[in-house]
A and B are shown apart, each in its own frame.
Chain A
Amino acid sequence: MIIKGILVTLIAPMSDHIANAGDKILGNASSIKQRPDGRVYISGQKQRHALFSAMDRLNFSDPKHGETYISNGDGVTTIVENDLRADLGGFLDTNKGSYSGRRTAPLSATPAVALEESRVGRDLLIRLKVNQDKESERSQALATREYSQDDLMLMNFFIDIGAVSIRKRHRYEKDMHVSTEYVKHVDEPERLRRVQLALEATGSLVDYANQARNAVSGEPQQVLIVFDTKLSRKTSRYFRAKDTERKNILNELEHRGATYFFGDDTSAEGDSVSIAYVKALKFLNENSLFDPTDGAAPITTSQFEAGK
């Protein structure tokens, strides 16, 4: 099978959490984020952050990582062959001019949203002051913080395989004719390694804000991994759907030749989450990635930028 897209939809239990908060790791709210329908959520931005953070750890421990790295979110490069964030996460570098400074992300995420209405509690915090200054003579500061008690968070990730490590350039020729040039920045084994890292990372999300030092983890309890022949993300509805819709979603996948792996840690039947990931990674290695360049030799970013 030629894989065009990979969709991962998963359910991760979180308790007593403010997953989106914190000053350090891209959090931007001090309370839990909640939608008007009462369900708490984690922004798409934070989801992408947690995913790249997991990829960074996996990449670092992979003996085949070579020159590759994951740049900081505040300093993305344009070097697709080395910087995995530039490759999978895209970039906008206005200094590069035209479209060599711009890349649409092949990897996208939706906000993580609780499956049911959440119950929000309030935690009492005491800020201990140790300064000797005048202000500290007053009483200790007390504050309350909102957190969510127990949620099953629904998360979705998608990889557009035809865009991984590949750039497109279009030239207007004459009349209404446009020529399209595809450029590949790394070889096939490295593309495969990157897709594999991204897939593994969806099962290893841990970089959320820790409420009062409680570990908050986004590791799945249930997961559905889809290797698709079409760029479709409709399967992201699966865990929200009732039985009939679930059956129809899976039928549609089978009908168009897609392959999927389902893992559920709460059920005695079928595969567990870890077995589903093992099977999915094996399948990924035995099949090929869609390559719009038709096996072209890789070139560097500086060669690409010089050739415009």
Chain B
Amino acid sequence: MIQDLHLLEAKPEFSSVGILTIDALAPLSMVVKMPGKYYRSQPAPSDDMLYGMLENALGWHFSEARGALLKRMQKIHGAAPRFSGVGFGSLLQHHVRFTTPHLPAVIHFEDLWAQHLNGPSFVGGSRTYDARAIPLMDAIAGGKVTVNDRAEASKDPKMLTDFQDGDTVHLNVLSSLFPQYYISPTRREYVLPLGPYMYRVETSLAMAQALEQAILAPAAPLYLGSNDGWVDAEWRTME
């Protein structure tokens, strides 16, 4: 793990070139920003994902300190930091750039992903609930009883058994009988790369050496996209 961040104070220069090769060991799901209903994967990692992977290798998982570091770098380099679609600001963004990518062909496929959500729509969103809720749930499914979170809905716990056709029951009556989160299967796209991703990376000599060391002995496992997007990376310093 490389702790010496003074490397980032140096004036950015791009006199050195490294070749970064990334081999996918598993299908990748590279989603650039938090979507609503469909997690669409890019065919190739974004620059921010590549920065993230390199920072993982360096051990720069600086969650709490990152904001202060980015501010300090803005002062030194005079350029505002760029943030990704999910709010990740890379510490390497001023000093490392990816050029001439060599991208493999990919096969796309969609997986159903059970997303854990927390919200008021659990009644329609969960397939598992306490057996005591069955009579009321049957009535709701049959359109005999309505359930919502409006003020006029009845919050009386007795409504679980003593309901009548046309009643409106408050969500709170049911909430303790449902899982804490309900499962909502979401479509998530994966890609299967048919070869390695290769990038020509321009940076300073010192940074190239630091990256070479980090990829040789990464401080954290390397992945792209999601936790199960395992990758293997290689770095060659060219000049």
- Interface residues in chain A, defined as those with a beta carbon under 8 Å from any beta carbon in chain B: 5, 23-24, 26, 28-29, 33, 35-37, 43-45, 72-75, 90, 98-99, 102, 104-105, 108-111, 156, 158, 160, 163, 168-172, 175-178, 180, 230-234, 236-237
Contact = CB atoms under 8 A, between A and B. Distances in A.
Given A178-B65, A232-B232, A36 B25 contact: no
Contact of B107 (A29, A35, A175): A35
A231 B114 contact: no
A156 B226 CA distance: 15
Contacts of B8: 176
A158 to B, nearest CB: 6
A87 to B, nearest CB: 15
B95 to A, nearest CB: 12
B63 A98 contact: yes
B65 A44 contact: no
Do most interface residues of chain A lie in helix, strand or loop, or is the interface mixed? loop
B107 A37 contact: yes
Nearest to A171: B65
A168 B3 CA distance: 14
Given A28-B112, A35-B192, A111-B27, A172 B65 contact: yes
B177 interface: no
Do most interface residues of chain B lie in helix, strand or loop, or is the interface mixed? loop
B81 interface: no
B25 A98 contact: no
B26 interface: yes
Given A35-B107, A170-B65, A171-B64, A28 B183 contact: yes
Contacts of A168: 61
Interface in B51-95: 61-65, 68-69, 72
B230 A236 contact: yes
Nearest to A48: B228
Contact of B63 (A23, A102, A108, A175): A102
Contacts of A171: 64-65
Contacts of A43: 111-113
B207 interface: no
Interface in B24-52: 25-27
B144 interface: no
B6 A176 contact: yes
B128 A24 contact: yes
A138 to B, nearest CB: 18
Given A160-B220, A175-B72, A176-B69, 8 more contacts: A5-B221, A23-B128, A43-B112, A44-B226, A160-B221, A172-B65, A172-B68, A234-B23
B108 interface: yes
7 contacts: A28-B113, A35-B109, A108-B223, A110-B228, A110-B230, A175-B72, A176-B72
B218 interface: yes
Given A43-B113, A74-B116, A98-B64, A233 B25 contact: yes
B114 A36 contact: no
Interface in B188-228: 192, 217-223, 226-228
